[in-house]
């Protein structure tokens, strides 16, 4: 009995320390994206605007498009939004997952300053997020016309990344479109 | 030359700390008085050397000595002088130097104010503090020396991170470090008690003011951090459940539990073992905080440059602390004893409730912070845990906690009658209920969660007022002076701190339900509205600051055509990193609301993206935080603790009570 009283906290402490030790070896910023170069993972979710309508990966495929993962509780997403609005104005298709959110909150988020998204799949439990390997919101993928993931960005887009990476990639993908 | 001297002083301080961690302890175990006394002088010596070292680094910043690598990375010629001085703690190495300097200052304070502590006890406390110092000083000297020189001296330095060039940032880290470091003193007291195996009311009375003061600084530090984030980051958010915020919040929760458990230990001799455990945990959590921020194990806005060596070192410190303290705990805690019993309904049982809730809250934050890391470590993928998790876990824990805050001070120790409490508090309860119904209506829309929050806040305030009134009325016959004197600082401070908490709860309830954030596109002369206010953009013009260019908008705020304020938010482009603009929000603060504007990107033509915020009751948030800390300081300053010290009897055995015959003895 007495031994167990000592042993249990000891094991717990060692487990936590071990976890941190392993954590040290990992680089939290370096995120392997095994999905780049692979087809968009399959999913099946309700449409954000109409629970009756089902959205699958097929709805994301067909033209060169961005896929953005966002949530109303994500402050960084809100900061990124004006940039997405600008992209939408330029005619770029943006599909999206509304990630671990409620419809009411997200609706308020959208109504604040318009909706840049062509399609919104409602993912309250992060199911599709798991398939797509969502690490943190906001996240943005670039899909080519055949539905291959060509690029992934964790964290907000900014003007520099757009001009140097995303927009040239989109232009290239548009050009190679059959 | 001065940086070398600073470095030398740092190393000397480390040597003194090593001596301090050994000599007094040997003295205490062998009863060697001169050795025991060394603790004090070594602590003073350490402090003097560290102050010198700190001054040397500050001087390097003042004269822009870019041959010092740390200065070159965190300052430049154009940096205004006040930020040159505060840049000393703007990076990892310098902030550590500040940490160890503050630690030494606490050591001197303990040495100076605990003259009446039994010699053995003081020697052990100083010894443990010495060990903590050795840990952090070795960490500084071996992995993070701020005095490292550059072989090739740059003509100009990089810059202090523009986010940190702000008054809020000047005070946030020192306050937080005062709190963090104060936890080492609490820890030292706990370990000293474990070594001696003696823990009694006197021990608790000595520990209480130190714990409370450390807690106050932590409260202020967290509060100022939140205040800074609120206006500087330009998002209008005040708490993000960011891993590093959690790192400061966890020890705060445990320290809050500790304050209450110490009260039981002092007054009733109860919760002894639990109190020691909390003291150990609070300290371990401060090291964990340092580990999170400085190892790069978790990414966050607060992270310093990651370096695996530093992570390993801090992890080692954490391991030594936890394993060492827990081993000592396992061996000695049974000797300390569990303390007296109490009835199912008594102040003890209610404070136990407080402790359980706070401990569970801390565990919940811990899980939320490290769950992603654990999943990642087992190769189960990378996830992030966002505010939804924390909000949904925290709320159900805080509701009963806040309710208890109203009851516990009114309930007698040992055994009380719930019917009696209900009778005493029924009017306060009904009044709080009425307030929870009416108050939200002033915001135009009644929401159940807001009503609950406001009701609980009113409950705390009303019961506190009732308790204060009752205590004064008991002395009514003895005149007004006696009535006022009956409000002992410890008693009044407690209620002030509770009232502060209530006021923070009001702010959270209000702002979470009724805040309005709008992003709008505004051209010159155009108007947009948010939260019942109209915002008209008059124009945007370039201005020049000491080390940045900025676009400054002039926005006139009106309400129902009545003038409210002229706000001038800026978008600053610091010379060192113009591609990364900083938002300088502009606020108009009133007691029951803030109106807050920040300037976003320039859109086409003369139009700008402007973010409008209406934040009800934010003023209460900061007032409440200040009140909590003020209440704590007041309680810690109670003469009761000082008298206890004066009265304490110094004996060879340690904490033995004065050996005086209780009754009169019949002599032959």
Least confident of A34-38, A118-122, B413-417, B624-628: A34-38
Residue B381, pLDDT above cutoff 80: no
Q: Which pLDDT score, from 0 to 100, does residue A150 have?
A: 86
Instruction: Identify the residue with better confidence: B78 or B431.
Output: B431
Angle between helices B167-196 and B308-336 in degrees, nearest 10: 40
Among positive and negative, which fits the CA dihedral B502, B504, B505, B510? Answer: positive
Residue B114 and residue B124 share a domain:
yes
Residue B563 and residue B505 share a domain:
no
Taking residues B210-226, report their average pLDDT: 95
Asked if the structure places residue A165 within a domain, the reply is: yes
Q: Which of A6, A9, A28, A103 to mutate to test the interface with B (most CBs of B within 10 A)?
A: A28
SS3 B510: helix
Residue B646, pLDDT above cutoff 60: no
DSSP string, B558-570: EETTEEEEEE--E
CA A57 remoteness from chain centre: 14
Residue owning tokens 């940190």: B164
Asked if the structure places residue B358 within a domain, the reply is: no
Token digits of residue A43: 């999913």
Q: Integer distance in angstroms from the first to the last C-alpha of chain B?
A: 77
Asked if A28 lies within 8 A of B299 by C-beta distance, the reply is yes
Asked if the structure places residue A14 within a domain, the reply is: no
Task: Report the mean per-residue pLDDT for chain B.
Answer: 87
Q: Which residues of A touch B296 (CB under 8 A)?
A: 24, 27-28
Asked if the structure places residue A21 within a domain, the reply is: no
Residue partners of B568: CB distance under 8 A and separation at least 6: B552, B553, B554, B555, B586
User: How many domains, chain A?
Assistant: 1
Residue B138 and residue B34 share a domain:
yes
DSSP string, B197-225: T---HHHHHHHHHHHHHHHHHHHHHHHHH
Residue B539 and residue B446 share a domain:
no
Asked if B382 lies within 8 A of A133 by C-beta distance, the reply is yes
Q: Which CATH number fits the domain that encloses residue A168?
A: 3.40.30.10
Q: How confident is the model at residue B382 (pLDDT cuts 50, 70, 90)?
A: low
Locate the chain A residue with the closest alpha carbon to B311.
A24
SS3 B528: strand
Taking residues B196-219, report their average pLDDT: 90
Asked if the structure places residue B144 within a domain, the reply is: yes
Residue B73 and residue B35 share a domain:
yes
Asked if the structure places residue A24 within a domain, the reply is: no
Q: How confident is the model at residue B306 (pLDDT cuts 50, 70, 90)?
A: low
ipTM score for this prediction: 0.76
Token digits of residue B495: 């209620």
Asked if A6 lies within 8 A of B330 by C-beta distance, the reply is yes
Query: Who among A13, A24, A28 is closest to B308 (CB)?
Result: A24
Asked if the structure places residue B180 within a domain, the reply is: no
Asked if the structure places residue A103 within a domain, the reply is: yes
Residue B88 and residue B36 share a domain:
yes
Taking residues B203-226, report their average pLDDT: 94
Asked if the structure places residue B154 within a domain, the reply is: yes
Locate the chain B residue with the closest alpha carbon to A31.
B382
Residue partners of B431: CB distance under 8 A and separation at least 6: B458, B462
Least confident of A7-11, B86-90, B282-286: A7-11
Query: Who among B299, B322, B383 is closest to A29 (CB)?
Result: B299
CB neighbourhood size of B430 (10 A): 11
Asked if A78 lies within 8 A of B518 by C-beta distance, the reply is no
For the entire predicted model, the pTM comes to: 0.81
Instruction: Identify the residue with better confidence: B522 or A114.
Output: B522
Residue B68 and residue B34 share a domain:
yes
Whether B134 contacts B21, CB under 8 Å? yes
Locate the chain A residue with the closest alpha carbon to B277.
A9
Residue B641, pLDDT above cutoff 90: no
Q: Which of B160, B178, B210 is the last residue of a domain?
A: B160
Query: Can you tell me the distance from the alpha carbon of B89 to that of A156, in angstroms, rounded to the nearest whole number?
Result: 29
Q: Which of A1, A5, A6, A24 to mutate to test the interface with B (most CBs of B within 10 A)?
A: A24
Q: Which pLDDT score, from 0 to 100, does residue A9 have?
A: 79
Taking residues A5-10, report their average pLDDT: 76
Residue B156 and residue B14 share a domain:
yes
Least confident of B48-57, B169-178, B426-435: B169-178
Asked if the structure places residue B373 within a domain, the reply is: no
Q: Which pLDDT score, from 0 to 100, does residue B660 have?
A: 37
Q: Which pLDDT score, from 0 to 100, does residue A89 have?
A: 87
Asked if A19 lies within 8 A of B386 by C-beta distance, the reply is no
Q: Which residues of B touch A110 (CB under 8 A)?
A: none
Instruction: Identify the residue with better confidence: B617 or B481.
Output: B617
Q: Which residues of B touch A130 (CB under 8 A)?
A: 381
How near does any CA of chain B get to the CA of A176, in Å? 31
Q: Which residues of B touch A24 (CB under 8 A)?
A: 295-297, 308, 311-312, 315
Query: Can you tell me the distance from the alpha carbon of A25 to that of A13, in angstroms, rounded to the nearest whole number?
Result: 19
Domain span at residue A47 reads 35-175
Q: Which pLDDT score, from 0 to 100, does residue B658 have?
A: 38
How near does any CA of chain B get to the CA of A76, in Å? 9
Task: Report the mean per-residue pLDDT for chain A.
Answer: 82
Query: Can you tell me the distance from the alpha carbon of B197 to that of B384, in angstroms, rounded to the nearest whole number?
Result: 44
Query: Can you tell me the distance from the alpha carbon of A136 to that of A33, in angstroms, rounded to the nearest whole number?
Result: 13
Residue B283, pLDDT above cutoff 90: yes
Total beta-carbon pairs less than 8 A apart between chain A and chain B: 87
Q: How confident is the model at residue B349 (pLDDT cuts 50, 70, 90)?
A: very high
Query: Can you tell me the distance from the alpha carbon of B446 to that of B55, in angstroms, rounded to the nearest whole number?
Result: 56
Asked if the structure places residue A12 within a domain, the reply is: no
Query: Who among B381, B386, B600 is closest to A130 (CB)?
Result: B381
Asked if the structure places residue B189 within a domain, the reply is: no
How near does any CA of chain A get to the CA of B567, in Å? 21
CA torsion, ordered B170, B172, B174, B176, to nearest 10 deg: -170
Q: Which pLDDT score, from 0 to 100, does residue B296 have?
A: 63
Task: Express each pLDDT in B102-116 by its tens digit.
Answer: 999 999 999 998 877
Residue B202, pLDDT above cutoff 90: no
Cα–Cα nearest to B346, from B407, B276, B400, B263: B407
Asked if the structure places residue A100 within a domain, the reply is: yes
Q: Integer distance in angstroms from the first to the last C-alpha of chain A?
A: 73
Residue B566 and residue B441 share a domain:
no
Taking residues B425-452, report their average pLDDT: 93
Taking residues A50-70, report their average pLDDT: 89
Residue B501 and residue B463 share a domain:
yes
Q: Which pLDDT score, from 0 to 100, does residue B338 have?
A: 67
Residue B453 and residue B554 share a domain:
no
Token digits of residue B389: 């998790």
Q: What region does B269 belong to: left with phi over 0, alpha with psi -120 to 50, or beta?
A: left
Instruction: Identify the residue with better confidence: B35 or A126.
Output: B35
Query: pLDDT above 70 covers what percent of chain B?
Result: 92
Considering only the C-alpha atoms of chain B, give the largest distance between any 2 of them, rounded to a whole number of Å. 107
Instruction: Identify the residue with better confidence: B231 or B194.
Output: B194
Q: Which residues of B touch A134 (CB under 8 A)?
A: 383
Q: Which residues of A sit within 8 Å Cβ distance of B?
A: 5-6, 9-10, 13, 16-17, 19-29, 31, 71, 73-75, 78-79, 81-82, 100, 112-113, 126, 130, 133-137, 160
Q: How confident is the model at residue B407 (pLDDT cuts 50, 70, 90)?
A: very high
Q: Which of B160, B181, B216 is the last residue of a domain?
A: B160
Q: Which residues of B touch A26 (CB under 8 A)?
A: 297, 376-377
User: Which of A104-108, B304-308, B467-471 reaches the highest mean pLDDT?
Assistant: B467-471
Asked if the structure places residue A152 within a domain, the reply is: yes
Instruction: Identify the residue with better confidence: B190 or B116.
Output: B190
Locate the chain B residue with the closest alpha carbon to A76.
B235
**Residue A138: cis peptide before it, omega within 30 degrees of 0:** yes
Asked if A19 lies within 8 A of B373 by C-beta distance, the reply is yes
Whether B293 contacts B234, CB under 8 Å? no
Q: How confident is the model at residue A34 (pLDDT cuts 50, 70, 90)?
A: low
Query: Can you tell me the distance from the alpha carbon of B215 to that of B207, in angstroms, rounded to the nearest whole number?
Result: 12
User: Which of A81-85, B212-216, B327-331, B542-546 reaches the highest mean pLDDT?
Assistant: B212-216
Domain span at residue B115 reads 1-160
Bridge partners, B612 (sequence order): B518, B597
Q: Which of B514, B533, B553 is the last residue of a domain?
A: B514
User: How many domains, chain B?
Assistant: 3
Asked if B330 lies within 8 A of A24 by C-beta distance, the reply is no
Q: Which pLDDT score, from 0 to 100, does residue B506 have?
A: 96
B294 to each of A36, B53, B91, B287, how far by Cα in Å?
Answer: 31, 22, 10, 10
DSSP string, A80-143: HHHHHHHHHHTT-EEEEEEES--HHHHHHHHHHS----SEEEEETT-HHHHHTT--SSSEEEEE
Task: Express each pLDDT in B567-616 by its tens digit.
Answer: 999 988 888 777 777 888 899 999 999 998 988 888 777 888 888 999 99
Residue B565 and residue B423 share a domain:
no
Asked if the structure places residue B296 within a domain, the reply is: no
Residue B403, pLDDT above cutoff 60: yes
Q: Which of A4, A20, A100, A109 to mutate to test the interface with B (most CBs of B within 10 A)?
A: A20
Q: Which pLDDT score, from 0 to 100, does residue B299 have?
A: 57
């Amino acid at each position: 009995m007495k031994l167990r009283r000592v042993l249990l906290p000891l094991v717990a402490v060692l487990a936590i320390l071990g976890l941190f030790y392993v954590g040290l070896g990992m680089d939290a910023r370096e995120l392997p994206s095994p999905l780049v170069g692979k087809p968009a993972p399959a999913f099946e979710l309700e449409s954000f605007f109409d629970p009756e309508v089902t959205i699958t990966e097929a709805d994301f495929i067909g033209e060169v498009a961005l896929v953005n993962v966002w949530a109303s509780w994500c402050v960084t997403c809100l900061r990124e939004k004006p940039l997405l609005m600008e992209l939408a104005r330029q005619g770029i298709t943006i599909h999206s997952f509304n990630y671990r959110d409620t419809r009411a909150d997200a609706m308020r988020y959208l109504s604040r300053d318009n909706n840049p998204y062509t399609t919104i799949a409602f993912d309250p439990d992060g199911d599709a997020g798991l398939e797509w390997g969502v690490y943190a919101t906001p996240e943005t993928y670039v899909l080519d016309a055949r539905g291959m993931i060509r690029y992934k960005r964790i964290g907000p887009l900014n003007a520099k990344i757009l001009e140097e990476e995303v927009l040239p990639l989109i232009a290239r993908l548009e050009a190679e479109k059959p | 030359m001065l940086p070398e001297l600073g470095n030398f002083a740092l190393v000397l301080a480390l040597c003194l700390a090593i001596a301090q961690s050994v000599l007094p302890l040997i003295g205490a175990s062998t009863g060697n008085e001169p050795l025991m006394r060394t603790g004090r002088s070594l602590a003073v010596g350490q402090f003097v050397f560290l102050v010198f070292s700190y001054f040397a680094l500050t001087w390097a910043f003042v004269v822009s000595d870019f041959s010092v690598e740390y200065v070159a990375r965190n300052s430049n010629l154009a940096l205004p002088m006040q930020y040159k001085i505060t840049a000393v703690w703007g990076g990892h190495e310098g902030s550590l130097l500040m940490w160890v300097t503050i630690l030494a200052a606490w050591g001197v304070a303990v040495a100076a104010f605990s003259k009446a502590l039994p010699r053995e006890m003081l020697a052990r406390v100083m010894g443990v503090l010495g060990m903590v110092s050795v840990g952090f000083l070795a960490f500084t000297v071996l992995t993070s020396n701020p005095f490292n020189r550059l072989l090739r001296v740059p003509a100009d330095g990089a810059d202090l991170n523009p986010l940190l060039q702000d008054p809020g940032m000047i005070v946030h880290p020192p306050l937080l470090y005062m709190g963090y470091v104060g936890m080492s003193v609490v820890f030292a007291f706990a370990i000293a008690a474990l070594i001696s195996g003696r823990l009694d009311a006197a021990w608790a009375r000595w520990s209480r003011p130190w714990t409370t003061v450390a807690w106050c600084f932590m409260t202020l530090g967290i509060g100022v951090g939140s205040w800074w984030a609120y206006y500087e980051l330009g998002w209008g958010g005040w708490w993000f459940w960011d891993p590093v915020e959690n790192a400061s919040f966890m020890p705060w929760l445990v320290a809050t539990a500790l304050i209450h458990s110490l009260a039981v230990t002092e007054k009733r001799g109860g919760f002894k073992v639990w109190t020691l455990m909390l003291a150990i945990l609070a300290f371990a959590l401060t090291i964990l905080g340092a580990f999170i921020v400085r190892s790069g194990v978790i990414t966050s806005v607060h992270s310093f440059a990651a370096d695996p060596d530093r992570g390993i070192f801090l992890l080692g410190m954490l391991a030594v602390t936890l394993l060492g303290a827990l081993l000592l705990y396992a061996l000695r805690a049974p000797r300390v004893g569990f303390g007296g019993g109490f009835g199912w309904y008594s102040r003890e049982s209610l404070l136990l409730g407080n402790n359980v809730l706070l401990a569970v809250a801390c565990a919940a934050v811990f899980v939320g912070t490290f769950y992603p890391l654990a999943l990642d470590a087992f190769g189960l993928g990378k996830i992030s845990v966002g505010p939804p998790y924390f909000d949904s876990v925290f709320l159900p824990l805080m509701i009963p906690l806040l309710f208890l805050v109203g009851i516990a001070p009114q309930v007698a120790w040992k055994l009380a009658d719930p019917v009696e409490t209900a009778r005493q508090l029924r009017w306060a309860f009904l009044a709080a209920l009425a307030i929870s119904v009416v108050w939200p209506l002033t915001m135009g829309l009644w929401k159940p969660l807001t009503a609950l929050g406001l009701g609980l806040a009113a409950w705390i305030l009303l019961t506190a007022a009732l308790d204060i009134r009752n205590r004064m009325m008991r002395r009514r016959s003895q005149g007004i002076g006696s009535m006022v004197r009956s409000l002992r600082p410890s008693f009044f401070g407690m209620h002030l701190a509770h009232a502060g908490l209530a006021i923070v709860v009001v702010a959270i309830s209000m702002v979470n339900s009724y805040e309005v954030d709008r992003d709008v596109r505004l051209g010159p002369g155009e108007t947009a509205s948010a939260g019942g206010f109209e915002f008209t953009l008059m124009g945007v013009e370039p201005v020049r600051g000491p080390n940045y260019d900025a676009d400054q908008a002039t926005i006139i705020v009106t309400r129902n055509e009545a003038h409210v304020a002229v706000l001038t938010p800026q978008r600053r482009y610091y010379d060192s990193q113009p591609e990364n603009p900083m938002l300088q929000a502009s606020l108009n603060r009133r007691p029951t609301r803030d109106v807050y504007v920040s300037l976003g990107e320039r859109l086409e033509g003369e139009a700008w993206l402007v973010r409008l915020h209406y934040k009800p009751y934010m003023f209460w948030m900061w007032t409440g935080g200040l009140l909590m800390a003020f209440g704590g300081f007041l309680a810690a300053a109670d003469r009761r603790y000082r008298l206890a010290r004066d009265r304490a009897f110094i004996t060879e055995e340690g904490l033995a009570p004065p050996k005086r015959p209780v009754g009169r003895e019949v002599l032959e």
